[in-house]
Amino acid sequence: MPEGHSVHRIARQFQRNFVGKTLQASSPQGRFAEGAAVLDGREALQAKAVGKQMFLEVEGELWLRVHLGLYGAWDFSGEILVDPTIASANGRMGQTNQRGTDLDEAIFDDAGENSLSSIGAPRRARVHVRMSEQTSGLADEGDQWPPPVVGQVRLRLLTDITCADLRGPTACELQTPDEMLATVARLGPDPLVGDPAEGEERFVRTVRRKATPIALLLMDQAVISGIGNVYRAEMLFRARLNPHTPGRDVPEEVVRELWRDWVKLLAIGVETGQMMTMDDLTPEQYRAAMAHRDDRHWVYHRAGLPCRVCGTEIALEEIGARKLYWCPSCQR
């Protein structure tokens, strides 16, 4: 499932490429036809992410709420902001990019754009995505515009130069301002939304009064926003915390460290587009980690392999219907 960093990056694309422009909206699949008809012809006013959900405001006091869920993704084409991770995914954003980013193949211009921090820079590059079950790729300037619809597109949003196709979301709906605020109010704090210090206090208060295992609390979007299976496993290992520890039994300082680690990791994820959870890597190790998941994480997806720290076999179990990876020795 896409985790918080991906959704924040998607919101940046909408903020940069769609806000201030009149939208052409359609539902090629037909499942969002009524909503698309309401959106069509309205100006996009702002885009923001809270945890795993994105909200796009349009004129007329209306919000589009999208939750990608397990299978959702946005495919961007036309003129969009790119960095090496977006380029390696051929414009697709949302689904966890575990295939990695090959920095050796990244193209840099004379101004140093297309760097890992340039997703918010004013440079634009023309990217087009040809979707099929097996293939996608970068296209040239001569390709058809608007791009042909391929597959099950729930919602297409189009400007004169940019296209966004939404496929497979868990939720895609229109909300009034009050409904949008009510949705956000039900979500836990997000380090990139509001005051991080207030978010920390809210997170600490919630965790410290719960008997629920900390592994489940970190995945509860009402407790903290944006953390998914990958970040959950990695954060617990980085804290050397047993995932079965009840929240109320986790020392307050450790709970605060978890929040501050999420602040750090989320920022790295937004910048790089990858869930980079290992620190102090050499340049060679960093390039390998960006390119391959096996070199990027401490415990995630490493069941049966030796712990990178102590050599103990990484354990795999199911908790809350999701896979949990952890080191029984380091995380006592």
Q: Which residue is catalytic, options 202, 264, 322, 323? A: 322
CA angle 164, 53, 3 (to 5 degrees): 95
323 counts as catalytic: no
16 is catalytic: no
CB 200 within 8 A of CB 266: no
Q: Is 246 a catalytic residue?
A: no
Pairing of strands 92-93, 125-127: unpaired
Selecting among 3, 57, 234, 271, the annotated active-site residue is 3
Q: Does 2 qualify as catalytic in the annotation?
A: yes
C-alpha distances in Å from residue 330, one per residue of 162, 280, 281, 310: 48, 19, 20, 7
Which two structure tokens, joined as six digits, stand for 18? 């769609």
Residue with tokens 């956000």: 184
Residue among 9, 52, 293, 296 flagged as catalytic = 52
Expressed in angstroms, the distance from the first to the final Cα of the chain is 28
CA distances from 205 to 40, 52, 181, 260, 315 (A): 43, 22, 22, 15, 30
What are the b/e assignments for 129-149, b being 16+ CB within 10 Å? Answer: bbbeeeebeebeeeeeebbee
Q: Which of 232, 226, 196 is closest to 214 using CA atoms?
A: 232
Which residues participate in catalysis according to the annotation? 2-3, 52, 322
